[in-house]
Structure 1
């Protein structure tokens, strides 16, 4: 079994970014991170994204607002960032507090600055197979890992656990563009383990700690674990029970150290793309 770690994939993406940024002729891409409140997972992702941008020599500015900010105030603050010509890309840490109108942000964000593919325009491009759009970073990180591992998806039976607009559905569209044969499972799927066992590539994005055991995995399957969970003992873990699945999988991603570590590199790749779209 090959353990497919994210660091190697991220390094390959970073090298390509450092080569491509020369095309901006000295301009430095500028990322805006917008965070409301002090959620630990948001703050962790913010730190990771900031560290990645610093490593690549990109600029990053964090806009942090109190949890109690009114919807009117927040919309005005977002408009300023969205319209700022010095900012090439926006990362909105979600979900927002319930009193804030997240849908309004999705509808108004400049699609060239929409690095995590939250706007209807970018999602439509992903579903249409239009490469000018930006897919959600985690969904694209899954594809980057499969490409890096040399998995030829043409005609492959791929099963995805989860149907969210953040991961499940966009991953399905990205892999369909590579001519994979897609099956999607969800909470209403009958006999999910059997459906998953038929897959040559299994993408787990259910958000349930260690849900996927050996009964879900066919012999020699490629298993990509997108889940980020905390178990009853406070340990970070994925949707896949690594120890139970490793004897059956041919390729398996760990958590932590797998897809999540590629996501910030995809974010940087999108920032560079946004800079080219706006400045090119």
Structure 2
């Protein structure tokens, strides 16, 4: 048995195409969604992510503004910038690229963003709305995972057993909430879970998100299960290589012989994250301006 590969690049490209069509329609009504990304410090990976977000937002027809601040920026100055962005009617989405340098406090910074502009879906108000089934902006990576699951398994996930490995605020906890909302039977595993392999073998849907390369082995996976690998780990470079290869939290070469469908790394979950960020920005713009999101062909 060889698993079907879940193509996150293609799914993200299709989603961005639909978003661009919707942006064009709301722009005709005088509303151009605006996204502000704030980068503090000089982390190379964060710089790459921010450039990609800027480029893809502009390709979708949005206004994209990046604020690049030095790593020594005082927290009061960063919070002042966020307050100004909150008050700017041309900015519908605000994202502070994480992690931020110490001693900046992530919770304070996230809490300062207007929940209606929190396109990362991390503000306590949006987290609370997710937990009670209210209206709010959803975290981007879990939202992208759900889209890939529904593309693969269909709209109705009711009754499927789902295992999320990891309980982070950014990924594990909101992923579990979204699966519960989809009427799955959900288990959250973590570093203190006993017999993790046995828990994995019961799951119809497996979502590892712990940042441990190839931790989930092929014989841990239930035959035919759908595996959404959120892990993104760079191995040490081999002789003659400048960079090590990227791998997920799943031993892909083993898992692909057992699973029914699986995301590759790279090219699986990653591309969906930015596409869902743009989706949130469009949603925030429409809500702010009292518009319904225009319908476009899938």
> What TM-score, normalized to structure 2?
0.90
Match of 1:45 in 2: 49
1:58 and 1:107 map into 2 onto residues whose CA distance is: 25
> In the TM superposition, what is the alpha-carbon distance from 1:262 to its structure 2 partner?
0.9
Is the aligned partner of 1:191 residue 2:186?
no
> In the TM superposition, what is the alpha-carbon distance from 1:208 to its structure 2 partner?
0.8
1:122 to 126, 145, 161: 126
Is the aligned partner of 1:249 residue 2:259?
yes
> In the TM superposition, what is the alpha-carbon distance from 1:50 to its structure 2 partner?
1.5
Give the ranges of 4+ consecutive aligned residues of structure 1 lying more than 3 Å apart after TM superposition.
none
> What TM-score, normalized to structure 1?
0.96
Cα deviations across residues 72-130 of structure 1 (Å, max 9, x unaligned)?
22222222222222211011111211211222222221111000111100000111112
1:150 to 153, 177, 191: 153
Is the aligned partner of 1:86 residue 2:96?
no
Cα distance change on mapping 1:126 and 1:141 into 2, 3 Å:
same
2:191 and 2:245 map into 1 onto residues whose CA distance is: 25
Match of 2:269 in 1: 259
Other structure's SS at 1:219 match: coil
5+ residue gaps in structure 2? Answer: 238-243, 291-298
> In the TM superposition, what is the alpha-carbon distance from 1:14 to its structure 2 partner?
2.0
**For this pair of structures, how many residues does the alignment match?**
279
Task: Out of 261-270 and 82-91, give the one that drifted further.
Answer: 82-91
Is the aligned partner of 1:97 residue 2:101?
yes
Match of 1:212 in 2: 216
2:96 and 2:110 map into 1 onto residues whose CA distance is: 10
> In the TM superposition, what is the alpha-carbon distance from 1:194 to its structure 2 partner?
0.7
Match of 2:287 in 1: 277
5+ residue gaps in structure 1? Answer: none
